[in-house]
């Protein structure tokens, strides 16, 4: 099966590193023109330069601060006045770790703005073009914690669950327009985010980060954590014509870690 996204414009959130970067690179390798979207301008400049050289295409980047919703809204509204998007990958940095008893109402509001409002806004701005052309792909990067909550990620558990249920509702409404809406449920991947969470967990448990990682790998049936490139392959498929009959789904990518159906 040859996945070709030639002629498609993709907007990928959180794409200056980790899973977001891997997704952006794979979409570009599949022929899409990619707009990176993140805070780190220097890193995005480097990635765009590499992609332009490797793929012979013109890619671009958009500097945003997902944690400042009003600023984010202004930047995105301006972007969509001049650009259209065929493939939207909703992805942001995660909120602060911590259990339910450690968080207050303001923490939940900040997480809601970061994880939910930014996704809804970007999607609403992207949809008119998709509906007009009767083709579109919306892919939300979520977490396995929406099915099996992780007690040290109370904010992420709560708000990402809202994202995937919203996405299910949206999928029904736009299916007739040739637009698919899917969410990927992220397991353990070799990223800076995992390293940061492992450091905090190690501190709390008075063990080394290496021990935390070894324990994490032992939990996964494949006995390893995922490579970001592997995530890119899944998203490229969901963005393709070959995935036109897949919508309203939550697709785990976790090496078999989820125990629930």
Per annotation, catalytic residue among 152, 188, 231, 233: 152
Contact yes or no for 13/24 (Cβ under 8 A) = no
Cα–Cα distance, 71 to 66 (Å, whole number): 8
Cα–Cα distance, 197 to 195 (Å, whole number): 6
Cα–Cα distance, 132 to 249 (Å, whole number): 23
Distance of alpha carbon 59 from the chain centroid:
19
190 secondary structure, DSSP code: S
Q: Is 152 a catalytic residue?
A: yes
Contact yes or no for 158/108 (Cβ under 8 A) = yes
Could you tell me the two tokens for 224?
Answer: 């390893």
Contact yes or no for 32/111 (Cβ under 8 A) = no
> Catalytic positions, please?
152
């Amino acid at each position: 099966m040859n996945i070709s996204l030639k002629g498609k414009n993709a907007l990928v959130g959180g794409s200056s590193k980790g899973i977001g970067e891997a997704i952006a690179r794979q979409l570009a390798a599949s022929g899409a023109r990619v707009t990176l979207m993140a805070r780190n301008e220097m890193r995005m400049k480097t990635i765009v330069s590499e992609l332009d050289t490797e793929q012979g295409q013109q890619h671009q980047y958009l500097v945003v601060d997902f944690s400042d919703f009003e600023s984010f809204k202004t930047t995105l509204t301006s972007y969509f006045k001049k650009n259209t998007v065929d493939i939207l990958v909703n992805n942001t940095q995660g909120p602060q770790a911590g259990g339910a008893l450690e968080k207050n109402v303001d923490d939940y509001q900040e997480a809601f703005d970061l994880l939910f409002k930014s996704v809804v806004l970007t999607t609403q701005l992207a949809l008119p073009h998709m509906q007009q052309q009767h083709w579109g792909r919306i892919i939300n990067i979520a977490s396995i914690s929406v099915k099996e909550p992780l007690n040290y990620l109370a904010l992420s558990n709560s708000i990402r669950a809202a994202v995937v249920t919203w996405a299910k509702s949206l999928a029904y409404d736009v299916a007739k327009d040739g637009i698919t809406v899917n969410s990927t449920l992220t397991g353990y991947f070799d990223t800076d985010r995992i390293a940061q969470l492992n450091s905090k967990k190690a501190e709390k448990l008075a063990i080394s980060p290496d021990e935390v990682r070894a324990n994490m790998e032992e939990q996964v049936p494949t006995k390893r954590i995922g490579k970001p490139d592997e995530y890119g392959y899944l998203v490229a498929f969901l963005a393709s014509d070959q995935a036109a009959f897949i919508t309203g789904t939550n697709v785990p990518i976790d090496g078999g870690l989820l125990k629930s159906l």
